[in-house]
């Protein structure tokens, strides 16, 4: 075998690896991140606050900005566009509300550049005078490279950010101060 043939085979193998690396996965690789916290506020107050996109940047460190229907608790079919930074990667996602059962459940599905980007589901349960707030974020790995990065580091970073998110939400709601000094649903003046 000549050097030229060897180089040709190496290039073919490298090209095949590169294609496989970025090809869509043949099966669903779903990651689910569950986090929960107890908040000393009634479920309806927590529900209205978390389902109002204007509030997201105040308590969710990944939410940089929102636009569209942002000033009220969103209902089924309503959409909002969010600029985000998650685990060091940023972009723009369009969220659509797919389920709303006030004050117990709220679900949004995200889309980035025409592909599904994940689902966020909130479950709220009365606990005494407060609320047990559960957040489930599920997403699929679109490519092998994403699946590998997810296993190596993304999943852990997103999980840590989710924990921080709920701690900020608890502090914001239990402190009683609305975001940016403006009146928010469920907050006293």
Q: Give the model's pLDDT for residue 146.
A: 76
Tell me, yes or no, if the pTM score tops 0.85: no
Q: Where are the domains of the chain?
A: 28-181
Query: What percent of the chain has pLDDT above 70?
Result: 84
pLDDT in tens, 35-63: 999 999 999 999 999 999 999 999 999 99
Highest CATH level, class, for 28-181: alpha beta
> In 3-state terms, the chain is what percent helix, strand and coil (to 5)?
35, 40, 25
Res. 21 pLDDT band, cuts 50 70 90 = low
Interhelix angle for 155-175 vs 43-50, to 10°?
A: 120
Q: Give the model's pLDDT for residue 24.
A: 62
The beta strand positions in 40-145, using DSSP E, are 63-68, 79-86, 89-101, 105-112, 115-127, 130-140
pLDDT in tens, 58-84: 999 999 999 998 999 999 999 999 999
Q: Is 138 exposed, middle or buried (0-12, 13-18, 19+ CB in 10 A)?
A: middle
Residue 178: pLDDT over 70: no
Q: Give the model's pLDDT for residue 16.
A: 61
């Amino acid at each position: 075998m000549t050097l030229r043939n060897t180089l040709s085979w190496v290039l073919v193998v490298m090209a095949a690896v590169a294609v496989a690396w970025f090809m869509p996965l043949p099966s669903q690789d779903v990651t689910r991140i569950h986090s929960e916290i107890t908040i000393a506020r009634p479920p309806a107050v927590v529900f209205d606050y978390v389902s109002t996109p204007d509030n997201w940047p105040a308590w969710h460190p990944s939410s940089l900005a929102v636009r569209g229907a942002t000033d009220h608790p969103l209902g089924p079919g309503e959409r909002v566009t969010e600029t985000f930074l998650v685990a060091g990667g940023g972009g723009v996602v369009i969220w659509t509300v797919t389920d709303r059962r006030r004050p117990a459940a709220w679900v949004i599905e995200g889309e980035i550049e025409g592909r599904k980007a994940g689902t966020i589901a909130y479950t709220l349960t009365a606990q005494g005078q407060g609320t047990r707030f559960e957040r489930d974020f599920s997403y699929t790995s679109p490519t092998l490279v994403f699946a590998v990065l997810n296993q190596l580091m993304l999943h852990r970073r997103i999980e840590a950010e989710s924990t921080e998110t709920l701690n900020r939400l608890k502090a914001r709601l239990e402190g009683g101060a609305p975001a940016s000094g403006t009146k928010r649903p469920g907050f006293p003046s």
